[in-house]
Amino acid sequence: MYLFFNQTIHFMKRKILLLCGVFSLFAFETITAQEYEYLEITSGLNEDVIANGANTAAASISTIVDNDSFAFVAADFQPTGTSIPPAYALPVDGNIASMATPGLSYQLADYSVNNSLRIHGTTPAPTVTTGTLVFSNQVSAKKLYVLATSGSGASTVTAIVNFTDATSQTITGAVLPDWYNSTVLPVAASGFGRVSVATNNVENPSGNPRMYQLTIDIDVENQIKEIESIQFTKTSTAQGVANIFAVTAELLGSCPSPDGLTAVFGITTGAVTWAESIIEPGDGYDYYFSTSADAPTEATVPTGNVASDVMTVEFSELEIGATYYFWVRSNCGDGDVGAWVATTFTTGQISSTYTEGDIETLYNTFPTITSTTTCPGTMTISIPDGYQIGDVATSYTMTTASNGYKSEQRSLLVCTTTNTSESSLYSGTGNGGTQEYNRTDLTFANGATGEVEFELRAWRTYGSSGCTTSHNFVDNNSWTVTVTYECVTPLTPQADDQTFCTASTVADLVAATDYDDATIRWYATEESVEPLAEETVLESGTYYVSQYRYTCESERQAVVVTLGTATLPLTETEQSFCTATNISGLYVDTIEGGVINWYATADSEELLAEELVLETGSYFVSQTVGGCESDRIEVAVTINATPDAPTGDMMQDFNTGETLASLEVDFVEFGTANWYVMTVEGNYEAVDATTVLENGVTYYVSQTLLSCESEMLAITANEVLSTVTHEFSGLKVYPNPANAMITIANVGVIENVKVANLLGQTVLNRTANTETVELNVSSLAAGTYILNVQLQNGATTSVKIVKQ
């Protein structure tokens, strides 16, 4: 079971991003003190190895710690009456506070009686290979902490924890280090000196001798049992002498807290899981979550609580690259709570450890930060796409060998991918042993992406030439590189100003992103903290767009948004045309700034070209104003054929008073007559069919069928006058109007023709003596003239003509 917890404390986000993944937890001791209890030893201590009081060392102890001649010494030791007690020694009260675990302490037995279970093995006789410590206070415990050391070399022991129910738990292969210089086990106490039994000389080597802390984890199924005794057996045959002094229990208690805390984390998320408590807590588990290492107390208000069947708490929206601290305790109800137990994790970090063996050192008396080595340790870390290194931390240990010194060690971390390194070399201090190196917040590899390679270059200033591990080396499994990633700030997205119609939302806005895995964010202002939701209805104004990738956000681009309205065009839904009409001939009214769009169907996307020749059928029209297109209107188009011109004689006689309607003209069925006369300017002027005919005037007639008008028929009207002799009954003047040539024909001989303007002035005069005269009037100005015709017999007549 687990609980998802959306962190309600919003930490300010930094733009640092680490590779998403699952990692094991960092070691993190419980900060709030556990409940500890000394186990009171009733039997099993077999030797007094601590010199104390006013007596010589030899008289004060029963034997030595090692196989040489040294014992531990107490602060009240005075080998003579004038001796000054040592300033560095075991405390008189025998209480030892653990240097390894805050809050944990041990109680040594009286210095005047047996105070050590000393197991020396096969020599010297008599042989002692095993011993059992029996306790008077029988408790239930989660852990046992054994205060022990080994003289004259390390010892390997087996421990059997015996419970009151006659069951046991065995721990094999436990190493008790030599009482000088070792860090194999946590050091519980050191620097309290030793005394030579032979000379009573008290020594105080720096940081030595040492008592170590051996931790025995009690199996979960055994934690509710009471511990009766522990049997220790020395299994190593080397000369090391095991000395066990005291045991302190971490009590199970009435409301034991869970253990086995592990943390997994990603970029901005984390989760902590624990093993269920051996006693189910009635009120579940309290937890406390913080960015501070300050531990909660019993009175601290928990961040939250989960049920007893929930063993995971998840967190989201965490600050990237920050270290978080998590505590959990059992809550058994009625104020009975367990101790807080803790773990920690850092979001956005990944560590890699070198595991390919000890790293050799190269002999170089004066290496510099530009020096190379032919035997570096190398490590490659993969930076995911979109990220770069934000900082680097490294740690490792270097150990001396033979007669090498820590002060002869030199080392340097280099990023060969960027060809950069730390700004200085690092060296150890002191003589033999192991030197620890730890460095954080290194920035020399910042900005590196992709596959990034690191080198740990190590040198020694003493020893044989070349690369060896003979005098100094980097310990295998000790070199670690921890990289903190940050995302690369994305480019600003590109977006044009945009126009929308009413009811558009943020989801309709468009911006071009440079990445497949980026998220586009829209904001109401340039400073807005929260992006707009996709369903936010748009208004006319300026919006701001960015792209968000791996928790990094680009700068913002301003985009002007205009909201238009969709307005229908004004048009007739039925329109008729004659042949050769194209789509631009369809008539539609638009508002200012409007654009007309013609489509072949109600839902087609392609616009029709203006030069498209119309056919009978339906077309669809819309109007776009300010980027908003209206609905479409259907327009029914009919294409009608143009009729032929009406037929009839081009020269027709009439009697005085007759009208245009008396002229003989043939029209098509359902055709409509259209009558015109020519103006002085050469334009056709419509006249009514009731217009009285005039002699010599040419009239024009067309016919209209289904709104299509034909070409015109020209008819020249000749009046049959009662005063005109029969000699002019066949007179014809055509064409009239005319541009150049006029033909004058008669059945009798024409002797002379004259043309006079309306002022009576003769402008043309020609003698003919023929029945047909061709008269050129091209030189005349456009207008109306009077044509006088005189026959050979003297008869005359006049006809009105029009020069175009």
Contact 476, 354 (CB under 8 A): yes
pTM for the full predicted model: 0.52
Contact 621, 558 (CB under 8 A): no
Tokens of 669: 């069925």
Amino acid at 366: F
Asked if residue 393 has pLDDT above 80, the reply is: yes
Asked if residue 258 has pLDDT above 50, the reply is: yes
Q: Tell me which residue of 320, 269, 317 sits closest to 14, measured CA to CA.
A: 320
Amino acid at 747: V
Contact 135, 227 (CB under 8 A): yes
Condensed to tens digits (0 to 9), the pLDDT of residues 259-296 reads 889 999 887 899 999 999 999 999 999 999 999 999 99
Condensed to tens digits (0 to 9), the pLDDT of residues 539-592 reads 999 999 999 988 789 999 999 998 888 889 999 999 988 877 888 888 898 888
Strands 241-251 and 168-176: unpaired
Spatial neighbors of 722 by CB under 8 A, at least 6 apart, are: none
Spatial neighbors of 761 by CB under 8 A, at least 6 apart, are: none
**Cα–Cα dist 289/295, whole Å:** 10
Asked if residue 194 has pLDDT above 70, the reply is: yes
- Average pLDDT score over the chain: 90
Mean pLDDT confidence for 174-203: 94
Please name each of the domains of the chain with its CATH number: 36-251 (2.60.120), 259-347 (2.60.40.10), 349-487 (2.60.120.1340), 498-564 (no CATH), 570-639 (2.60.40), 647-719 (2.60.40), 732-803 (2.60.40.1220)
Compute how many other C-beta atoms are within 10 angstroms of the C-beta atom of residue 92.
14
- pLDDT for 395 equals 97
Spatial neighbors of 358 by CB under 8 A, at least 6 apart, are: 469, 473, 474, 475, 476
**Cα–Cα dist 386/64, whole Å:** 65
Q: At 592, give phi and psi (nearest 5°).
A: -60, 130
* Count of all residues that appear for the chain in the document: 804
Own/partner long-range contacts of 420-426 (Cβ < 8 Å, ≥24 apart): 420/444, 420/445, 421/369, 421/370, 422/369, 423/369, 424/369, 425/367, 425/368, 425/369
- Three-class secondary structure of residue 55 per DSSP: coil
Condensed to tens digits (0 to 9), the pLDDT of residues 424-469 reads 999 999 998 899 999 999 999 999 999 999 999 999 999 989 999 9
Spatial neighbors of 461 by CB under 8 A, at least 6 apart, are: 363, 364, 365, 366, 408, 410
Condensed to tens digits (0 to 9), the pLDDT of residues 268-278 reads 899 999 999 99
How far is CA 247 from each of CA 40, 71, 230, rounded to the nearest angstrom? 8, 20, 10
Contact 532, 469 (CB under 8 A): no
DSSP string covering 555-582:
--EEEEEEEE---PPEE-SEEEEETT-B
How far is CA 140 from each of CA 107, 143, 218, rounded to the nearest angstrom? 19, 9, 9
Please provide the distance, in angstroms rounded to a whole number, between the alpha carbons at the two ends of the chain: 107
**Cα–Cα dist 158/233, whole Å:** 5
